[in-house]
């Protein structure tokens, strides 16, 4: 979300609009190294949900007194911060909804693959209520917008449909993603422990269960001797369960982990992989799909929305539990015409995700000449 907010700020300034990012200040949680668990997590909530709304109200009051509020507009960059919309002028404020997976999971929708604790259920209900009260919402995909509209029907004080401006604004690329020449990629791959001459499958992402990382192991095992390449997991470390499964399938020696690669290493991985595999059970958008396409990688992804929407049909889509289907998709890429077709159509699809086009859509949502992002 930090990169997304920075992208919005830069985009506004490129349009000649003064913009700044307002962030919650860390006070209660500042003495703790982590704000993701234990007492530090709850202290972080005090900073975020108790102290910062007061800061926002004071800032808005100051802008009202000095006469600058009328020409400003505000954007909450992450739907999980929907509570801040209550502190901002409704007609001058918008929010981006990246997904509703956690909300749906907290309500018991098993296909979201996002189970929640009791506290999590209460928090997600609170987020949903504040999100659906918003007049201006930018959803990153048709799938996310449709799911949000359905959820809003269960919220008694949701913004009336006659007052809503809820629309799809496709994400733009938040960094340079383009094919990396072999001579540039080779040393980066070697540093990551990958033989540049070896064919490899690639997955980028976290260790969340909904990412379905085990599918790369299962499809490689199913392909058998017809495909003998490496299996590269970039991002979060493998779980012990996934490492055990690799051993059970006799694939442990072919698995390579690239933990939290920097951007140039990421480009090298996308550019040189035999195929990028994204078998998620659920997503709100699916950034890696278009990142891989932009770098010239053929993509094999699940057929769960919004993956086909985001890929523009320029990927092989398979049900996320269909091992044979993923294996067959992998083997089909041995056909050069199939590979070239996917790669070329992937590049064409990426034109939809231009960051300048995204910024124009946000400015149209506001229809205002000034902005505080």
Q: Taking 70 as the threshold, does the pLDDT of residue 368 lie above it?
A: no
**Cα angle vertex 97, ends 314, 125, to 5°?**
130
pLDDT at 104: 97
**Do residues 311 and 203 lie in contact, with contact meaning Cβ atoms separated by under 8 Å?**
no
Residue tagged 């918008």 (tokens): 94
pLDDT at 3: 87
CB atoms near residue 21 (< 10 Å): 13
Q: What percentage of the chain carries pLDDT values higher than 70?
A: 95
Q: In CATH, what number does 2-172+355-366 get? A: 3.40.50
Q: Taking 60 as the threshold, does the pLDDT of residue 98 lie above it?
A: yes
Rounded-to-integer distance, Cα 179 and Cα 73, Å: 37
- When pLDDT is averaged across residues 1-19 and rounded to a whole number, the result is 90
**Cα angle vertex 261, ends 255, 263, to 5°?**
135
Q: In CATH, what number does 182-352 get? A: 3.40.50.2000
- Which ranges in the chain are annotated with CATH 3.40.50.2000? 182-352
- When pLDDT is averaged across residues 222-247 and rounded to a whole number, the result is 97
Residue pLDDT, tens place only, 101-130: 999 999 999 999 999 999 999 999 999 999
Residue 37's pLDDT band, with cuts at 50, 70 and 90, is low
- When pLDDT is averaged across residues 52-78 and rounded to a whole number, the result is 94
Of 31-40, 164-173, 270-279, 307-316, least confident by mean pLDDT is 31-40
Residue 134's pLDDT band, with cuts at 50, 70 and 90, is very high
Q: Taking 50 as the threshold, does the pLDDT of residue 160 lie above it?
A: yes
For 85-114, the three-class secondary structure string (H helix, E strand, C coil) is: HHHCCHHHEEEEECCCHHHHHHCCCHHHCC
Rounded-to-integer distance, Cα 7 and Cα 247, Å: 42
- When pLDDT is averaged across residues 200-213 and rounded to a whole number, the result is 96
pLDDT at 363: 92
Residue pLDDT, tens place only, 257-277: 999 999 999 999 999 999 999
Rounded-to-integer distance, Cα 4 and Cα 19, Å: 14
Q: Exposure of 358 by Cβ count < 10 A (0-12 exposed, 13-18 middle, 19+ buried)? A: buried
Residue tagged 């919402």 (tokens): 137
pLDDT at 372: 35
Question: Whole-prediction pTM value?
Answer: 0.91
Q: What percentage of the chain carries pLDDT values higher than 90?
A: 87
pLDDT at 103: 98
Q: Taking 70 as the threshold, does the pLDDT of residue 370 lie above it?
A: no
| DSSP assignment string, 301-343 | EESSTTHHHHHTT-SEEE-TT-HHHHHHHHHHTTSHHHHHHHH
Q: Taking 90 as the threshold, does the pLDDT of residue 43 lie above it?
A: no
Residue pLDDT, tens place only, 341-360: 999 999 999 999 999 999 99
- When pLDDT is averaged across residues 26-50 and rounded to a whole number, the result is 67
202 strand-pairing partners: 232, 276
- When pLDDT is averaged across residues 64-86 and rounded to a whole number, the result is 95
Q: Taking 70 as the threshold, does the pLDDT of residue 161 lie above it?
A: yes
Q: Taking 60 as the threshold, does the pLDDT of residue 32 lie above it?
A: no
pLDDT at 373: 34
- When pLDDT is averaged across residues 23-46 and rounded to a whole number, the result is 66
């Amino acid at each position: 979300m930090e990169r997304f907010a920075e992208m919005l700020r830069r985009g506004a300034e490129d349009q000649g609009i003064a913009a700044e990012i307002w962030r919650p200040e860390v006070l209660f949680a500042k003495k703790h190294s982590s704000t993701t668990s234990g007492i530090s997590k709850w202290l972080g909530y005090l900073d975020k949900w108790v102290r910062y709304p007061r800061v926002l109200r004071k800032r808005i009051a100051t802008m009202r007194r000095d006469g600058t509020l009328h020409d400003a507009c505000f954007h909450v960059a992450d739907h999980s911060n929907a509570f801040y919309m209550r502190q901002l002028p409704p007609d001058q404020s918008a929010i981006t909804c990246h997904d509703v997976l956690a909300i749906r999971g907290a309500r018991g929708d098993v296909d979201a693959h996002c189970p929640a604790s009791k506290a999590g259920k209460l928090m997600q209900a609170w987020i949903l209520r504040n999100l659906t009260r918003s007049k201006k919402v930018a959803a990153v995909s048709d799938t996310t917008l449709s799911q949000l509209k359905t959820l809003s029907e269960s919220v008694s004080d949701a913004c009336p449909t006659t007052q809503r401006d809820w629309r799809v604004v496709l994400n733009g690329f938040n960094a340079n993603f383009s094919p990396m020449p072999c001579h540039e990629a080779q040393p980066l791959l070697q540093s990551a422990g990958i033989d540049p001459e070896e064919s490899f499958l690639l997955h980028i992402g976290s260790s969340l269960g909904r990412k379905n990382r085990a599918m790369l192991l299962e499809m490689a095992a199913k392909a058998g001797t017809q495909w003998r390449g490496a299996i590269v997991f970039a991002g979060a470390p493998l779980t012990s369960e996934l490492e055990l499964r690799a051993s059970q399938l006799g694939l442990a020696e072919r698995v390579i982990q690239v933990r939290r690669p920097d951007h140039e290493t990421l480009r090298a991985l996308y550019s040189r992989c035999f195929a990028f595999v994204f078998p998620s059970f659920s997503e709100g958008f699916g950034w890696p799909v278009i990142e891989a396409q932009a770098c010239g990688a053929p993509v094999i992804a699940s057929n769960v929305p919004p993956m086909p929407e985001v890929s523009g049909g320029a990927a092989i889509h398979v049900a996320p539990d269909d091992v044979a289907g993923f294996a067959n998709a992998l083997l089909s890429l041995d056909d050069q015409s199939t590979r070239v077709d996917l790669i070329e159509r992937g590049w064409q699809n990426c034109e939809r995700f231009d960051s300048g086009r995204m910024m124009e859509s946000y400015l149209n949502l506001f229809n205002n000449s000034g902005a505080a992002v």
